[in-house]
Structure formats: C-alpha cells, structure tokens
C-alpha cells in the first residue's frame, strides 16, 4: 500500500495565485484519486518496484499495464509539481541558476516567453517542463500523464531530467483562471516557482524523489 507525501505548505499558502479551494481539490481529490486507483491496480498483479518512478518506467509502453502507467505517472508528476511551487516564489532566480538559464535561452525573459508559449500551445491536458537535456537546459511539454524521462513530442526527447514542471490539466487552474491557461502559467513563473528546488535538481543535490512511501 502506498501513500501520498504530505504537502510542504497549507492549502491556502499559494493564495491569491492558487486558491485553497483549488489546492484542496487538486491534492485531496485528484492526486489522492490517482493513488487510490494505482493501489487498487497493484493489489491485483505481481509487480516488483521500489519507487513510483520504478512503476512508471516498468509499465511504460505495455498495453496490459496502461492503467498502472497512467496512474503512477500522475502520482509522480503531481508530487514533483508540488515541490516546484512555494509561497513567495517566482520571479528571476538566484545567480547561478539565472546564469544557466541566460546561457541556454539568451535571457530569462526569453525563457519565460518560451515556457508560456509552450504551455499554451500544448493541445489538451499535460505538462510543460524545464529539463536538463544532456548539458543544456530545454523546454518541452508532455501529453496527458507522460513524464519527460519517458516520452514527449518532438523535439522533446525521451530521457530528459525534470527540473521544473507546471500542470496544464484544467483541474490545476480552472476554478481560479477558467480557460486562462496563459495567465495561470505566468502567475506560476512570476509568483510561485520554487527556484531553490530547481537549482538543487540541476546541481544534483536532489534526484527524482521517492514520491510515495510504502506502509
């Protein structure tokens, strides 16, 4: 049996940019719902794993495990997304991360514009990501539940290391922004992005975390 990691902040901590109502619905209903479905599916099969990322990697591309893959990936992606935000976040990151972004995108403003554009051009549900691709930073998006270390649309390459993600499923923003996806992503970058977490990921101080614990 797997359980969700606790949020590192209260439901209302990200207001007014994300409401407590949205956070409760997103974490308590959607995230917990994916985990409940995953636990139910795993109870019916013999499946060896140590982390949720193990489940995602081992079930990817296997038609008989589509449900396992989709729900495990959503559990993983959401837990990563929570870490990508904090109260009082956003804006231009501290020097070393800013220098890396400026080196690979030309300027922080160019990165911000490309990130928002990529998010708004993603058709349907999915995620927009800042990733490490080889020795460079890149932006891409993935459809539905796919994480960047599994799959994505060209030129988004399989095997990228996630650094920052923004959830583009409507349940992430519709109560607060209706169909204003661009406004939501702008608020995410300008007011919420946890650049300390991104910098730690980039420096290798943290890795894709063990996102749920076994009881």
pLDDT value at residue 151:
59
Instruction: Enumerate domains of the chain plus CATH numbers.
Output: 17-83 (1.10.287.990), 95-208 (3.55.40.20)
Residues 6-59 have pLDDT tens digits of 899 999 999 999 999 999 999 999 999 999 999 999 999 998 888 898 899 899
Percent of the chain with pLDDT over 90: 77
Nearest alpha carbon to residue 16 among 186, 191, 168: 191
Please give the pLDDT value at position 26.
Answer: 98
CA distance 191 to 15: 10
Mean pLDDT along residues 62-67: 95
Tell me if the pTM is above 0.75: yes
Mind listing the pLDDT tens digit for each residue in 147-178? Answer: 988 854 444 455 788 999 999 999 999 999 99
Runs of H (alpha helix) within 45-194:
52-59, 66-83, 95-105, 108-121, 174-177, 181-187
Which residues, other chains included, contact 210 with Cβ-Cβ below 8 Å and sequence gap of 6+? 50, 51, 52, 53
């Amino acid at each position: 049996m797997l359980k969700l990691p606790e949020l590192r902040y209260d439901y209302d901590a990200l207001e007014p940019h994300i409401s407590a109502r949205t956070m409760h619905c997103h974490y308590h209903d959607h995230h917990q719902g994916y985990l409940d479905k995953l636990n139910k599916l795993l109870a019916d099969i013999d499946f060896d794993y140590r982390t949720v990322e193990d489940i995602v990697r081992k079930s990817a591309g296997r038609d008989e495990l589509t449900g396992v893959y989709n729900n495990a990936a959503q559990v993983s992606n959401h837990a990563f997304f929570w870490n990508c935000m904090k109260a009082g976040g956003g804006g231009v990151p501290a020097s070393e991360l800013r220098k890396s972004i400026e080196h690979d995108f030309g300027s922080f403003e160019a990165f911000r514009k490309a990130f928002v554009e990529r998010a708004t051009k993603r058709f349907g549900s999915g995620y927009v990501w800042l990733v490490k691709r080889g020795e460079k930073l890149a932006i891409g998006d993935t459809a539905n539940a796919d994480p960047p270390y599994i799959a994505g649309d060209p030129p988004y390459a399989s095997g990228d290391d996630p650094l920052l993600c923004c959830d583009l499923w409507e349940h992430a923003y519709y109560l607060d922004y209706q169909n204003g996806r661009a406004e939501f992503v702008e608020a995410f970058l300008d007011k919420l992005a946890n650049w300390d977490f991104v910098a730690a990921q980039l420096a290798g101080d943290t890795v894709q975390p063990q996102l749920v614990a076994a009881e």
